[in-house]
Homo-oligomer: A and B are copies of this chain.
Amino acid sequence: MRPSPVIDIEQSAVAFFQTLQDQIVAGLQTLDGERFHEDAWQRPGGGGGRSRVLTDGGLFEKAGVNFSDVFGSLRPEAARGMPGDGSEFRATGISLVLHPRSPRVPTVHANLRFIRRGNTTWFGGGTDLTPYYVVGEDAIQFHRGLKSICDRHQPTLYPRFKRWCDRYFFLPHRNEPRGVGGIFFDYLGTGAEAAAGEPSAPPATDWEKDPATVFSFVRDFGEHLMDAYAAIVTRRRDESWGEREREWQLLRRGRYVEFNLVYDRGTLFGLRTDGRTESILMSLPPEVKWRYGAAPEPGSAEALSLAAICAQRDWAEEST
């Protein structure tokens, strides 16, 4: 008997994410010069993963690239707000957060996931760039790279996913975005409207109703995820910095922690459903500071960077 197309995509997604982890880690090792350490782990309820971490490297103070493929039975509180029916699920994906040592090199986050609940399946993911010192050229290259991937599939994707990202990676208690954004998407390929838990989602379009179409976008996105970031790293890694820049980086990393622990749905979902804590919190920066009432001096490079972040500009439309 021929397997159903849903199963085809599910198996292909697992294989794709696993291979993608290998490719990305190989590329990052070339960039950094040091090697990742791997932890393979099993989930008691079903499935497992491979966490790969690089600490105190030549470029990265901490870099984590996680692959997981877990399945079993959803608890009611985990299922609430999710598309699909029943408690049987499978979730597979890759997530990465890279924290460079140099405050001149931005932090980047990316993830891709395939989820099935009962017979309903969907893809989600995205990537966003968090510079400590915003350089227009870098933000433009990052966004243009994403736009060109999106445009190969559907011209409406980039503006919609860019806006979704701006809304999602936002800290209301600071009234600040997390960085210069990128793209964010979820519930693609199910045909369902965004689930109850996602107030920032723009309405679904026809394009995303076919899982195979969506998977071809997800593959293309995954394969080119690191292109613009690698170019930015190469351009910025040898720029000089000192104590002042390090201090600003450590304070801004505090915002990263605040976002991930207070708002990030993936993090909270993982922590509240007995996920593997060390793999979930791999995203937290290696060193962080909080200072009461810290604010950059008006007109300083730090203040200008923060203003550029807060403006949520249409980077892909700007010229270098």
Q: Which residues of A contact B (CB under 8 A)?
A: 39, 51, 53, 55, 62, 64, 172-174, 250, 254, 257-258, 261-262, 268, 271-272, 275, 277-278, 280-282, 284-293
Contact of A271 with B281 in the complex, beta carbons under 8 Å: no
A223 to B281, CA, bound (A): 39
Closest 5 CB pairs of A and B: A261-B261, A284-B290, A173-B271, A53-B292, A288-B288
- 6 A-B pairs within 8 Å (CB atoms) are namely A172-B271, A250-B287, A257-B257, A286-B289, A287-B287, A287-B288
What's the nearest-Cβ distance from chain B to residue A18, in Å? 20
Q: Which one, B174, B261, B282, contacts A292 given CB within 8 A?
A: B282
Q: Give every chain B residue within 8 A of A174 (Cβ-Cβ).
A: 277
Q: Give every chain B residue within 8 A of A62 (Cβ-Cβ).
A: 290, 292
A281 to B272, CA, bound (A): 23
Q: Give every chain B residue within 8 A of A271 (Cβ-Cβ).
A: 172-173, 262
What's the nearest-Cβ distance from chain B to residue A43, in Å? 14
A271 to B292, CA, bound (A): 16
Instruction: Return the chain B residue nearest A51 by Cβ.
Output: B292
Instruction: Return the chain B residue nearest A271 by Cβ.
Output: B173
A261 to B263, CA, bound (A): 9
A278 to B288, CA, bound (A): 16
Contact of A286 with B293 in the complex, beta carbons under 8 Å: no
Contact of B173 with A277 in the complex, beta carbons under 8 Å: yes
| Contact (A286, B290) CB under 8 Å given A173-B271, A261-B257, A268-B262 | yes
Contact of A278 with B257 in the complex, beta carbons under 8 Å: no
A259 to B41, CA, bound (A): 25
Known: A250-B287, A282-B292. 5 other contacts (CB 8 A): A258-B281, A261-B262, A278-B292, A281-B290, A287-B287
A64 to B172, CA, bound (A): 23
| Contact (A289, B288) CB under 8 Å given A173-B277, A174-B277 | yes
Q: Give every chain B residue within 8 A of A282 (Cβ-Cβ).
A: 292
Contact of B278 with A293 in the complex, beta carbons under 8 Å: yes
A38 to B51, CA, bound (A): 45
A172 to B261, CA, bound (A): 14
What's the nearest-Cβ distance from chain B to residue A304, in Å? 22
Instruction: Return the chain B residue nearest A287 by Cβ.
Output: B289
What's the nearest-Cβ distance from chain B to residue A295, in Å? 9
Instruction: Return the chain B residue nearest A284 by Cβ.
Output: B290
| Contact (A64, B281) CB under 8 Å given A261-B262, A262-B268, A271-B262 | no
A291 to B37, CA, bound (A): 13
Contact of A64 with B287 in the complex, beta carbons under 8 Å: no
What's the nearest-Cβ distance from chain B to residue A273, in Å? 10
What's the nearest-Cβ distance from chain B to residue A290, in Å? 4
Q: Give every chain B residue within 8 A of A172 (Cβ-Cβ).
A: 271
A173 to B269, CA, bound (A): 11
What's the nearest-Cβ distance from chain B to residue A247, in Å? 11
Instruction: Return the chain B residue nearest A99 by Cβ.
Output: B290
What's the nearest-Cβ distance from chain B to residue A12, in Å? 30
